[in-house]
Structure 1
Amino acid sequence: MITLETQHFNINRILLLIIGLWPYQRSPLVEFQLIILYGTLMTFIVFQLTSFITSECTLDLIYKVLSSAFFFICLAIKYNSFWINADILRSSLKQLQDVCNEIEDKNEIAIMEKYGIKAKRITIRLLLLGICCQFTFILIYIWPYILIFKTKSRSPSPSYIETEYFIDKEKYFYLITLHRHIAICIGILAMIATGTMLITYLQHTCAMFSIACYRIEQAIGISQKTSFKNEENSCKQISRAVNIHCNAMKLSNFLISNFEGSFFCLIAAGMVCLCCNLLRIMSFTDNIGQLILSLTILVMLYVYLFLSNYTAQKITDHNEYVFATVYNVRWYMAPIRIQKMILFLLQRGTISFNLILGGIFVASMQSAASLASTSISYF
């Protein structure tokens, strides 16, 4: 028996528990944790936007503030989407677990295990990337102080992310620094935890498509043996293949459609963030910290853009592979009853299956390239 929570989603569970977003066991203490963490992230966004109140509103200030503020808005959207959709996530995991409970064939279990291991590897790699990005954010702030210590000279505090707290920045420097880095840590962790959770879930739906292919091949193999009992077993296998294929499409659509509004806002905020950071890079003079900050944000956003669309593309490819399997097996040599069932499958294969993000955006590698090109065009 496959236990998703402890076997395949254990790393995702730990990451979501840290930021209070694991959909189970939502106690009042967890709700308080959510309010504190989300509040920290939101206040950091607000204190960036308040820079427009006290500073002269120049073009340089506008894209300097927006380039970082919209990045944290993207992180806040991801955090908020899992908070408000906790019931949807819990229901999705339950439906996926119900499908796994019906899997008894050792080869089918091996297929599910294979995709679970793949999802874990992706999660670990993205977590390491997030740690590197967090370290980069910290390093660009402490590096000037290391130079000050070496040269014994004084220089103004670096302000790569423009903020306005309406307090004495020198007096409360350590509190401001603490708030900034805690907000960055919460945001990056939220982005990784929520993103890898969705990837892991969709990887398991890919496994379901692969199991459908396996069942079709098994059904045709059984039907080659001429007996009434084998024909009955073959029909059952095809029926089971159709059921798990339908469940895979249903589970994918159920989860993504309930995050429709969040994805729409995320795409819009991400496009603004990409354009503003490209502007900051092109207007680079001699502030190396500013350049590294913008490059780090761009790397994170583009990795997220391409990886999310790559995962959605895999869903489409696996769905098409099911029908490619139907075409390639020797279905024409099966009994007439089996052939009629296969024809229904072939007819269904004429309709493509895609994941729609934000209600308007077809998730695929082509769409990811189009979005990247559009961001550069706006810039």
Structure 2
Amino acid sequence: MDTPSDIFQSRQYKYNRILLSLLGQWPFQKGRDRWTAFVAVMFIGITQFISQALALVTLRGDLDATLECVAPLLVNCLCVVKLTNLICNQKKIKILLMHIQRDWQSWIIDSEFEILYKFAESGRSITIRYASGMYAFGSLFPLLAIIPKIIGRNLISNYSTRPVGFPYHVEYFVDLNKYYYPVLIHNYLTTAIRLTIIVASDTCVIILVQHCCALFSVIRYRLEHIRKSVEQDKELAFLEEDEKIYKNFVYCIRKHEDAIQFANCLETIYKNALFVEVGLIVSMMSLSALQATTDTLTPQLAIRHGGYIIAQLIHLFIVCWLGQQIIDHSDRVYTSIYQSEWYESSSKSRKLLNMIMLRSISPCTLTVGKIMVLSLPSFSAVVRASASYFTVLRSVR
């Protein structure tokens, strides 16, 4: 490891560390382990991507089969975007993780520790729930495809590129009936890897956003509970009362600037990737809805496509919700100043509050390529856009 990372061995960050390590993208991972995991993931993923692209070429002219090929390929593209973003921004992500480590080592008052712990636990809880939901609903599509094979139904597939039990169309230019199980294992292993890439990338954003919100909450606590803060801060014990409050406000300014830089770094890391991701999600949801409304739909296919759509909605919602969290916590700093006992401080101290208020007028945000701010209203807007594209595709078909 490049730097001490004791906090990341704790229960709060354990799952995030494990998920990123499986992909070889944990910044503090040993070089050999990192490259071994990364090469294995890339080899399996690229071979699957090529086989699905070849199947798309093989099945051109068959609209239903083409739609079945396109949706998984879009998921592959989504995974490529997420993994590429992790690779290209690994140094920046490492800096943010080191920032988290530093904050856990340098808290001053007990209330700061409690706030950091609260948000870290929240990040852990969201990580577990999100991962469970994505693995559960994301696995429905491939797992339901293998059920007829498990229960021994003698079904005949209409396509040579997708024998019974195969979740996706693939073309290896070999006899898939002869090499049925090796290819099948490769398909399901790739499915697990794709889900892990999505979950690992998104849960990394979760813990970073939660810590960013914790930084803003520390500032708000210091502003709203001035007396308690200066009493708990042992470094201010020998100063006069007015000087204590002044030093407390200076600390708030530094922490506020720190939190803003953290949020801006997050924005820099994810804005371009989110632009592509949201576009892919809109396309995937529209195509999935189109497949789920075909005339030949069976209950089994309805469950498969339904799970697929729900997984996409969970993915989109969590990204928009995280953007809303940053907006809310950065915006509340302004309100916290009014709720504080600012009137009991000296004019010298009150002038410092103006600096925080001016900067808090514009809340921090996560954006989709600087085009759209991620928030809960954005979630409904993207879902409506997906529904509109689905209607267009439905009418064309």
SS at match of 1:50: helix
1:348 alignment counterpart: 359
TM-score (norm 1): 0.91
Instruction: Work out which of the residue numbers 7, 16, 39 in structure 2 matches 1:35.
Output: 39
Distance 1:355 1:135, change over 3 A: closer
1:244 alignment counterpart: 255
**8 A Cα contact 1:12 1:193, kept in partner:** yes
SS at match of 1:162: coil
1:201 has 2:238 as partner: no
Could you tell me which amino acid in structure 2 is paired with residue 25 of structure 1?
Q
Could you tell me which amino acid in structure 2 is paired with residue 334 of structure 1?
S
Structure 2: distance between partners of 1:350 and 1:293: 46
**Could you give the per-residue CA deviations for residues 316-340 of structure 1, whole angstroms, max 9, x where no partner exists?**
1011111111012232343211222
Which residues in structure 2 correspond to 1:275-290 (within 5 Å)? 275-290=286-301
Structure 1: distance between partners of 2:207 and 2:201: 10
1:233 alignment counterpart: 244
Instruction: Work out which of the residue numbers 142, 145, 153 in structure 2 matches 1:141.
Output: 145
**8 A Cα contact 1:209 1:322, kept in partner:** yes
Cα distance, 1:343 vs. partner? 2.6
Cα distance, 1:371 vs. partner? 0.9
1:5 alignment counterpart: 8
SS at match of 2:240: helix
**Could you give the per-residue CA deviations for residues 206-233 of structure 1, whole angstroms, max 9, x where no partner exists?**
111110011112336789xxx9811111
Could you tell me which amino acid in structure 1 is paired with residue 216 of structure 2?
F
Could you tell me which amino acid in structure 2 is paired with residue 5 of structure 1?
F
**Could you give the per-residue CA deviations for residues 312-368 of structure 1, whole angstroms, max 9, x where no partner exists?**
111110111111110122323432112222233223232232222323221111111
Cα distance, 1:61 vs. partner? 2.8
Structure 2: distance between partners of 1:181 and 1:199: 27
Cα distance, 1:289 vs. partner? 3.8
Could you tell me which amino acid in structure 1 is paired with residue 337 of structure 2?
V
SS at match of 2:348: helix
Could you tell me which amino acid in structure 2 is paired with residue 234 of structure 1?
I
Task: Using CA pairs under 8 Å that are at least 6 residues apart, name the structure with larger relative contact order, 1 or 2.
Answer: 1
**8 A Cα contact 2:27 2:91, kept in partner:** yes
Structure 1: distance between partners of 2:360 and 2:27: 35
1:270 alignment counterpart: 281
Cα distance, 1:112 vs. partner? 0.4
Distance 1:22 1:228, change over 3 A: closer
Which residues in structure 2 correspond to 1:287-298 (within 5 Å)? 287-298=298-309
**Could you give the per-residue CA deviations for residues 259-293 of structure 1, whole angstroms, max 9, x where no partner exists?**
33322222222221111111111115244443333
1:110 alignment counterpart: 114
Could you tell me which amino acid in structure 1 is paired with residue 179 of structure 2?
Y
Of 257-266 and 274-283, deviating more is 257-266
Distance 1:138 1:282, change over 3 A: closer
1:181 alignment counterpart: 188
Distance 1:289 1:164, change over 3 A: farther
User: Between Structure 1 and Structure 2, how many residues are aligned?
Assistant: 373
Cα distance, 1:250 vs. partner? 0.8
1:130 alignment counterpart: 134
Could you tell me which amino acid in structure 1 is paired with residue 219 of structure 2?
A
2:50 alignment counterpart: 46
Q: Give unmatched runs, 5+ long, in structure 1.
A: none
Identical positions, percent: 22
**8 A Cα contact 2:263 2:365, kept in partner:** no
Could you tell me which amino acid in structure 1 is paired with residue 250 of structure 2?
S
Structure 2: distance between partners of 1:245 and 1:99: 13
Structure 1: distance between partners of 2:339 and 2:108: 26
Could you tell me which amino acid in structure 2 is paired with residue 205 of structure 1?
C
Distance 1:216 1:117, change over 3 A: same
**Could you give the per-residue CA deviations for residues 33-91 of structure 1, whole angstroms, max 9, x where no partner exists?**
21221231232222112123222423323322111210222123212221232212111
**8 A Cα contact 1:222 1:233, kept in partner:** no
**8 A Cα contact 2:266 2:366, kept in partner:** no
Instruction: Work out which of the residue numbers 310, 322, 325 in structure 1 matches 2:333.
Output: 322
SS at match of 1:282: coil
Could you tell me which amino acid in structure 2 is paired with residue 174 of structure 1?
Y
Structure 2: distance between partners of 1:171 and 1:206: 55
**8 A Cα contact 1:212 1:322, kept in partner:** yes
Structure 1: distance between partners of 2:49 and 2:130: 24
Could you tell me which amino acid in structure 1 is paired with residue 102 of structure 2?
D
Instruction: Work out which of the residue numbers 66, 74, 79 in structure 1 matches 2:78.
Output: 74
1:85 alignment counterpart: 89
Structure 2: distance between partners of 1:331 and 1:56: 70
Could you tell me which amino acid in structure 2 is paired with residue 269 of structure 1?
L
**Could you give the per-residue CA deviations for residues 166-193 of structure 1, whole angstroms, max 9, x where no partner exists?**
1111111111111110000001011111
1:301 has 2:304 as partner: no
Distance 1:64 1:320, change over 3 A: same
Compute the RMSD of aligned alpha carbons: 2.4
1:24 alignment counterpart: 28
Structure 1: distance between partners of 2:138 and 2:358: 50
**8 A Cα contact 2:274 2:369, kept in partner:** yes
1:339 has 2:356 as partner: no
2:394 alignment counterpart: none
